[in-house]
Amino acid sequence: MTFTNRRHFLSQVSFAAAALATSGFGFTSHVKRDGFVEVEIAPGKLRGVRYEGVNIFRGIPYGGKVSGDRRFRRPAPVEPWTGVRSSVFGAPAMQPPRHNEPAPAEDCLFLNVWTPGNDDKKRPVMFYSHGGGFVIGSGASQSQDGSNLARNFDVVVVQTNHRLGLLGFLYLDEIAGADYAGSGNMGMLDIVDGLKWVHENIARFGGDPDNVMIFGESGGGAKTSCLYAMPTAAPYFNKASIESGPGVRMTTKEAAAQTTAMLLRELNIPSKDWRKLLDVPATDLLAIQAKLPFVPPFIDKETNKTAQPGAGGFGPVVDGNVLPHHPFDPAAPEISKDKPLLVGWNEDEYNFFIWQRKETDLVKMDFDGLHKKLEPFHGADTGKMIETYRKTRPDASAIDIFVAISSIAMMGLGSIDIAEKKVKQNGAPVYLYNFGYKSEKKILNTDYPMGTPHAMDISFKFNNEVPPKNPSQPSESFFGGKKPERFVASHHFAELWTTFARTGKPAAKDVPTWPAYNLKDRPTMRIDTNCEVINNRFGEELAMWRSIKKA
């Protein structure tokens, strides 16, 4: 029995991320500069921008050509350059155009660095993988700008662009031969190349190559789950955080091969002539990709088969080599046993999707409507589910319960599953969290507040919710609202994460001691203006979910 139709949810994540990409939600524009700073790495000299105590290096190539004869393969080496390379964002991976960014391009292997100084200090390195499922996104979103983390907490922040969609995850291993081994995971191997670049170069940017934290939200959380299980990534990081994107299981070879066959049929290319894919313009491949399902089908853990008919979607493939097994099934990956982990989700994840899909009628639903809305996903268990949530939340409205059920089904159950499996491994600690700061902003033209929706945590954990320099200027966050107390919640979140990056244990001033997760007390840190540790949070509700799972 599956908890929810994960394919339906992930498709919403991809479409919602696409909406953010085109809505103007926080994409970095030009930065005013205080001066320049130069650094030399093996391929040549880089010129960064110095701005309010942070050196910003944008568009650094960490891999070479991935187009032409390198399509679906490992990248060519970075070509050396003469002179000094300026700090300009590199092209994002092929996707619809992004607001205030360069045009997407097939050759997209660039990274960005924010550092307090190009000196000999050994600062913790925070290596972030962007969200957007596995089909859109880039390392240039303003909400995830690394300046404030670097400036306020003395860390180095790194973010990559990497291949996405079918150009990053088309599985050709079974028809294309040894040169294309690992083709279903090129996008993940790009990220590993970024980590390798950090290991080799970050000391020149004031970072410690032996103290690297990987983290990511939504699709970036799933990427982090995969990195946590990948042998090629293992030497290059020490700790990880999986945020609102628990990647417990990924695509099987069988499902990925079906998707490849479907793509070839769509292009009228026989499998023996697969090389013709190398001649199809990238823009045409992007158009074809848009006709296919956005994400791979959910893989049922009991049968190891797709829980929905049909193929489609592009994401990491459990190929037995690059990704040897599912990241957290049947157990936490042994290869990262000794690496501390953070994992968690936002309390009101689904409000993001109500906003994005303009599902304003949901806000008005009664309890009969709630049953009708949930039944297609939860079947005969729907009544038991609603009964449990009405008992534990006696004052909640129908929409409140719908959001609570949908949010934990999307992100919470997988996060808890990861935490439990990590505990059972008897290795490094795992810390479970919920982000709970409540935005007063209303969803569309309703009176229903956003609460703590999916993606709101990004600007908070990057400490990009800060008071304006001019107190007379209005200050409002895209999701976070206008209340000044959000600045305190953001500082807590950022300090917890940067302390974890530095020491492997999350801590912050004016925040209670955060105990590692265990199977007795099941402590969860609720992150807000006033943070608190809650033992066995959602205990009665989780007991219901577990009973459904065993049914």
Q: Is 451 left (phi over 0), alpha (psi -120 to 50) or beta?
A: left
Measure CA of the first residue to CA of the last residue in the chain; give whole Å. Answer: 7
Close Cβ partners of 303 (under 8 Å, ≥ 6 residues apart): none
Following DSSP, what letter does each residue of 13-37 receive, concatenated? HHHHHHHHHHHT-SB--PPP-SEEE
Catalytic residue annotation: 218
Strands (E), 52-103: 54-61, 84-85
Do residues 409 and 2 make contact, with C-beta atoms less than 8 angstroms apart? no
List the beta bridge partners of residue 46: 39, 85
Residue 230 backbone dihedrals phi, psi, to 5 degrees: -100, 125
Instruction: Give the DSSP H or E segment for 283.
Output: helix 282-291
Close Cβ partners of 269 (under 8 Å, ≥ 6 residues apart): 276, 277
Residue bearing tokens 């599956």 = 2
- Pairing verdict, β 239-243 and 207-217: parallel
Instruction: Give the DSSP H or E segment for 40.
Output: strand 35-41
CA distance 546 to 539: 10
In three-state secondary structure terms, 404 is helix
